[in-house]
Amino acid sequence: MIRTEEMMLNVGPQHPSTHGVFRLVIKVDGETIVEATPVIGYLHRGTEKLAEDLQYTQIIPYTDRMDYISAMTNNYVLCHAVETMMGAELPDRAEYLRVLAMELGRVASHLVWFGTYLLDIGAVSPFLYAFREREMIINLLNELSGARLTFNYMRVGGVKWDAPDGWLEKVREFVPYMREQLKGYHDLVTGNEIFLNRVKGIGKYTKEEAIQYSLSGANLRCTGVEWDLRKHETYSVYDRFDFNVITREGGDAWSRYQCRMAEIEESLKIIEQAVEQIPDDGKYMGKVPRIIKAPKGEAFVRIESPRGEIGCYIASEGKKEPYRLKFRRPSFYNLQILPKLLKGENMANLITILGGVDIVLGEVDG
Amino acid sequence: MSDDKELEKKKAAEEARSKAEELKREKAEQEPPEEKVKNSKIAPDKEEDPSDEKESDKELAKKKAAAAAKAKAAALAKKKAKEQKETESGKKEDTDEESSKKKPVKEAAEADRKQKEQEAEPKDADTEEDKEKKKAAAAAKAKAAAKRKKEAAEGADGEDEKAKAVAAAKAKAAAARAKKKAADKGEEEEEKPSPNQPLLDKYVKVLKDHLGEDIFEDFYINRLSKHVPTLVAKRDTYHRIAEFLRFNDQLGFDYLSELHGTDFESHMEVYVHLFSFKNLQSLALKVKIDRDNPEIDSVVDLWQGANWPECEAYDLLGIRFRNHPDLKRILLGEDWVGHPMRKDYEPYDVEV
Amino acid sequence: MLGLAKGLKYTLKNLTKEKMTYQYPEEPIPMPDRFRGIQKFYPEKCIVCNQCANICPTDCIELTGKKHPDPEKKGKIIDTYDINFEICILCDLCTEVCPTEAIVMTNNFELAEYSRDELFKNLEWLDENDQNVRKENKA
Amino acid sequence: MTWIDSLLQSQPSWTNFAIFAGLGVTMLSITLGFVTFAILAERKVMGYMQLRHGPNRVGGRFGLLQSVADILKLLLKEDTRPKQADKTLFVLAPVIAYAPAFLVIAVIPFTEAFKFTDIGVGLLYYIAISGISTIGIVTAGWASNNKYALMGGMRAAAQMISYEIPLVMSVIGIILFTGSLNLVEIVQAQENIAFIFLQPIAFLIFLIAGTAELNRTPFDLPEAESELVAGYHVEYSGFRWAFFMLSEYVYLFALSALITVLFLGGWNAPIPGIGLNEIGLGAVWFTIKFIVIVFLFMWMRITFPRLRADQLMEFGWKVLLPIALANIFLSALIKELFF
């Protein structure tokens, strides 16, 4: 008789496919995973604790560093929470600039996901093609906000800067270009039989499981739940745009891939419309007091980040600083289902599944 | 175009709100002083100079009379709403100092007020509100707007110029509103005061019918948080309420959007934001727990998604969740000393 | 097989496309005017109001003022001004609050040093860092 | 009868030994030279396809000395060895992996004149020897005492055994056509038409199975950077690691040469009649065909994602092998009916 033994294997904290310092302790029987335990917290910086001693404006740069792939949505959720509490009204142009920045960020974020996902699956080139387009978006956002990743662009009551001269024109030109490139991606990847074999039917879960595990974003929509906070709990000026909520029925890695790729197109639609609709009055900051104080009380708002539902809870004592600030970090919630998905899969599928969840460790650890 | 609609909606909502406020305030004034304190505390606060306070106090009296006289003059009511808020917040500042040491929980106060509103409020106030609301919601644009405008113009007689401006030109009104809003916090929240009130009533009723009368510490609409109906459960009923919310066919709160704890120094609190994909409704469920012995039932058996958030709350605040399948210090590691999100946390460093 | 062939075609097409990379150290990367680089400090403009130090989210600015040497004039002038670039996150809030635009952003971003101590920049260094100042702040 | 033939058939002597030793060293340097520039070429092609420049600093605009610099660096690097590793095997593994890679080059006829041996079972020799490398890789995986390395080694073993079979099966058609295992004779049989046209299915199978043998994308599972970090050589550094790298590229050299010989007609001109082999154009034809194959390997690596382990096995046993067998049957039929 051959005696076999289960083997403990540490995937991470330093591993090319964990996209940061994430550790997965797996028990493998050969290459089949018997048990998987995620270990997180390596990137925990205590943002929420730090924020208790910071003014609202000072917290904004910290939010940049949570989900560093799409910092604009983080900026927004904090500002939105404070604005909701204050009842501040923003000039339209500020809202449009925010939407533009967020949607560009969403496209960039999905591009990073696309690139790194294919890198996980073993294809190197899509990563570089995706980063070519992402670089353009980053340059656009750099022109707008003065930084490439940690934008610190939004302020309570508006945005830091108006769009620079010619910026909107550049964004307008970017949309058709991006659409053209997307076709190329589909040529390169979407039809690729090897890729299809790698993702189809992998990491499957049902609608009920997705809801039960509090998944959000494309992880939820890939099971057929039509739920996008931009549409259904509309915020900012998203109700003025015509776009679809992308859903797929499969609930597997392939559906998630399709969802995200289609979401890029929807974001482009929004960008296109926003550039057309943006009012030309140059007013980008609402009337808010110089010292921002959220009224006493508490609020929880949630918006749609590229990774899912990002929320912000503020308990305020009516001071300059929040009494308690809590972010609902989508990656943190989305990662919970991982042990369940990994059971019985092999090493290669581990990477496909983990990559498909689209986590950002800065956000998981907060 | 949509702006106009919104504007109108808002205006209407405001009117309705102001009426409610007025009645409330009147009632509040007849109540014992603590109640007043509580009541005023809930009003959205803002920075205000004292001179304004006095002015508004004077106007308050005037307004009361006016309210009695023409209860239905919408424009007047609207104006009052603004001033009232000023008054209230002014009062708030007074009372705040006294009460801040006591640290009365704002939610509790608001809930009290809400309850009272529901129970003691004369019925016509509600219907009034509803009527106004319907007007707004249906956005019976031209007609409603015209009517309101007229009313506003009428009501503006003898009132200050701003009201006139509002009536005179929509554009100007918008500007004025924007301006006001910057200073006047809380107006936005009052856009839709009632849409969630029936929901809250429904939840409370259903829950009470099934689980008994004495299950809540509080329930109210959290106006700051996009009018989310908020239930404050008792420690021993928390899990039962959660279970009911989760599995009841009509409510069906199947999605746990957020769970976290907060240290309010006087007590700990667990905040759960639930969502029902069936009805597309949100609900906040809270429970206050003992700070010295923070322990509460876990809801992981109801929502798997609560697993890590509860671990996080345990890690950062030391709240122990009973029956949690794997309660661990998820972010900081098992050897960390203390719970950092507690307000009295002192960093512990072995090397120092 | 068709999908594979399509992919091969796509990569082959890109063989001759324009390259997207910069020859970085030789070719400087063009940064937009708003780019948040290392701060430039104008000691003569500073009124020692402390706002920058207060708004700094990471507390990396330390400054001291002294009395104006000219007894006729009121107010203070800057004595020392240090930014610790170990923890500075270049968030731009200090330049945003500065009432006299005494501290402004430049487009320079190269901060690599061999020692951490060298990341501690003082008033003189920040004063000399006067290249690529933002256009809107050009004196 | 070229001089090399006479040399091959002469009596053994010290002079002969010296000549062969000299030739061996020459071949080694040619191979190493190829490896050096194949790595550079791969990086360059990859760079250009990925909108980058690739190496462009060491040795001029095209980074001609980049690989040389890399090799020098590897030579100078500290040779680390895990404490718990099996020392003997750890040292031996790279040698076992590398030596066969160089051995197989002996049988490949580059041109009519430029060859080292002319043994009757050249093809068999190639396949038999190249299988030994697997042992080196498994040994490396085991000796490292690292779980990732072990998994990589196991994957390598499974993969190479599975793909060896379709690889051999696919060339049986050619053997049927030529009636010989001698590579020189196989090339000579293609004077009029290359076997790629007569045996297109065999060519595809050989190409796929060959890629798998080479551990190159899309079959780079033993290394699988994103899954197993670096697979069997995760614990190796310095020149020991370089040995694995070298053997990989030497195999690329050998396999591309073999494909050229088996399917593209070796030194024969692509179109019969313009050959002019007499004036040494054979080497040019060979090089061109060879480069095309190498480029094909690089191109595939740049474009494709990686297969999954179980899919790889399934593909090898359930797809490639039946097709290869069918191909043998088909070849036999064609041979019976038309030749």
Q: What is the mean pLDDT of chain B?
A: 63
Compare CB distances from B305 to A227, A302, A333 and report the shortest one's residue: A333
Cis check: omega of the bond before A13, within 30 degrees of 0 = yes
Q: Which residues of B touch A46 (CB under 8 A)?
A: 340
Put simply, the answer to whether A122 touches D306 (Cβ < 8 Å) is yes
pLDDT higher than 70, residue D176: yes
Per-residue pLDDT, D108: 82
For residues B149 and B226, which has the higher predicted lDDT (pLDDT)?
B226
AA letter at B120: A
Put simply, the answer to whether A152 touches C11 (Cβ < 8 Å) is no
* Residue B147: partners with Cβ closer than 8 Å, 6 or more residues away: none
pLDDT higher than 60, residue B237: yes
pLDDT higher than 60, residue B21: no
Per-residue pLDDT, D32: 82
Q: Which residues of C touch A144 (CB under 8 A)?
A: 34
Question: In chain A, which residue's Cα lies nearest the Cα of C12?
Answer: A188
Tens digits of per-residue pLDDT, B37-47?
344 333 344 44
Tens digits of per-residue pLDDT, A304-352?
888 888 989 998 888 888 888 888 888 888 888 888 888 888 878 888 8
Most confident of A2-16, B140-154, D270-284, D294-308: D294-308
pLDDT higher than 70, residue D20: yes
The average pLDDT across D155-162 equals: 84
Tens digits of per-residue pLDDT, B208-234?
888 777 777 788 877 777 788 888 888
| pLDDT level of residue D265 (50, 70, 90 thresholds) | confident
Put simply, the answer to whether D51 touches C8 (Cβ < 8 Å) is no
Put simply, the answer to whether D303 touches C18 (Cβ < 8 Å) is no
Q: What percent of chain B has pLDDT over 70?
A: 44
Compare CB distances from A17 to D50, D220, D227 and report the shortest one's residue: D227
Q: Write down the ipTM of this complex.
A: 0.81
C-alpha distances in Å from residue B106, one per residue of A295, A315, B39, B40, B113: 11, 10, 10, 10, 11
pLDDT higher than 70, residue B4: no
For residues A174 and B199, which has the higher predicted lDDT (pLDDT)?
A174
Compare CB distances from A123 to D151, D305, D311 and report the shortest one's residue: D305
Question: In chain D, which residue's Cα lies nearest the Cα of C15?
Answer: D49
Within its chain, how far is the Cα of B82 from the centroid?
18
| pLDDT level of residue A41 (50, 70, 90 thresholds) | confident
What is the least distance, in Å, from the CA of A119 to any CA of chain C? 15
Q: What percent of chain D has pLDDT over 90?
A: 0
Put simply, the answer to whether D218 touches A122 (Cβ < 8 Å) is yes
Most confident of A260-269, D102-111, D130-139: A260-269
Tens digits of per-residue pLDDT, B27-64?
444 444 444 334 433 334 444 444 444 444 545 544 44
What is the least distance, in Å, from the CA of A159 to any CA of chain C? 12
The average pLDDT across B326-335 equals: 85
Question: In chain C, which residue's Cα lies nearest the Cα of D296?
Answer: C8
C-alpha distances in Å from residue B346, one per residue of B292, B336, B337, C67: 16, 12, 9, 39
Compare CB distances from B304 to A157, A239, A336 and report the shortest one's residue: A336
The average pLDDT across B169-186 equals: 44
| pLDDT level of residue D268 (50, 70, 90 thresholds) | confident
| pLDDT level of residue D282 (50, 70, 90 thresholds) | confident
Q: Which residues of C touch A57 (CB under 8 A)?
A: 55, 93
Put simply, the answer to whether C89 touches A132 (Cβ < 8 Å) is no
Q: Which pTM value belongs to this model?
A: 0.78
Tens digits of per-residue pLDDT, A129-181?
888 889 889 989 998 888 888 888 888 888 888 888 888 888 988 999 999 88
Put simply, the answer to whether B226 touches A299 (Cβ < 8 Å) is yes
The average pLDDT across D221-228 equals: 75
The answer to whether B189 and A87 have CB atoms below 8 angstroms apart is yes
AA letter at A288: V
| pLDDT level of residue B194 (50, 70, 90 thresholds) | low
Per-residue pLDDT, B9: 53
What is the least distance, in Å, from the CA of D212 to any CA of chain C? 17
Per-residue pLDDT, B8: 56
Q: Which residues of D touch A350 (CB under 8 A)?
A: 227
| pLDDT level of residue D304 (50, 70, 90 thresholds) | confident
Q: Which residues of B touch A326 (CB under 8 A)?
A: 258, 260, 262
Candidate from B154-158, D18-22, D90-94 with smallest mean pLDDT:
B154-158
Q: Which residues of D touch A189 (CB under 8 A)?
A: 305
| pLDDT level of residue B152 (50, 70, 90 thresholds) | very low
Put simply, the answer to whether D309 touches A347 (Cβ < 8 Å) is yes
Q: Which residues of D touch A121 (CB under 8 A)?
A: 226, 305-306
Question: In chain A, which residue's Cα lies nearest the Cα of C19?
Answer: A132
Tens digits of per-residue pLDDT, B275-304?
888 888 888 888 888 888 888 888 888 888
Within its chain, how far is the Cα of D97 from the centroid?
13
Q: What percent of chain C has pLDDT over 70?
A: 98
Domains detected in chain B: 197-322 (3.30.460.80)
CA nearest B247: which of B302, B325, B322, B306?
B302
3 state SS of A312 = strand
Put simply, the answer to whether A315 touches B284 (Cβ < 8 Å) is no
Per-residue pLDDT, B33: 43
Q: Which residues of C touch D51 (CB under 8 A)?
A: 14, 17-21
Chains C and B touch (3+ CB pairs under 8 A): no
What is the least distance, in Å, from the CA of D90 to any CA of chain A? 21
Chains A and B touch (3+ CB pairs under 8 A): yes
Mutate one of D48, D49, D227, D313 to test the A interface: name it (highest A CB count within 10 A): D227
Q: Given CB atoms, is A164 within the 8 Å cutoff of chain C?
A: yes
Tens digits of per-residue pLDDT, A66-121?
888 888 898 899 888 888 888 888 888 888 888 889 899 999 999 999 989 988 88
For residues D336 and D4, which has the higher predicted lDDT (pLDDT)?
D336
CB contacts < 8 Å between A and D, how many? Answer: 80
Put simply, the answer to whether C20 touches D52 (Cβ < 8 Å) is yes
Q: Which residue has the tokens 């420049």?
A: D53
pLDDT higher than 70, residue B146: no
Q: Where does B103-196 have alpha helices with state H? A: 106-120, 123-138, 141-156, 161-168, 170-183
Q: Which residues of B touch A233 (CB under 8 A)?
A: 282
Put simply, the answer to whether A227 touches B341 (Cβ < 8 Å) is no
Contacts made by residues D228-231, CB under 8 angstroms, sequence distance 24+: D228/A347, D228/D148, D228/D149, D228/D151, D228/D152, D228/D155, D229/A15, D229/A16, D229/D148, D230/D148, D230/D152, D231/D141, D231/D148, D231/D149, D231/D151, D231/D152, D231/D153, D231/D155, D231/D156
Q: Which residues of D touch C24 (CB under 8 A)?
A: none
The average pLDDT across C86-94 equals: 87
Per-residue pLDDT, B125: 41
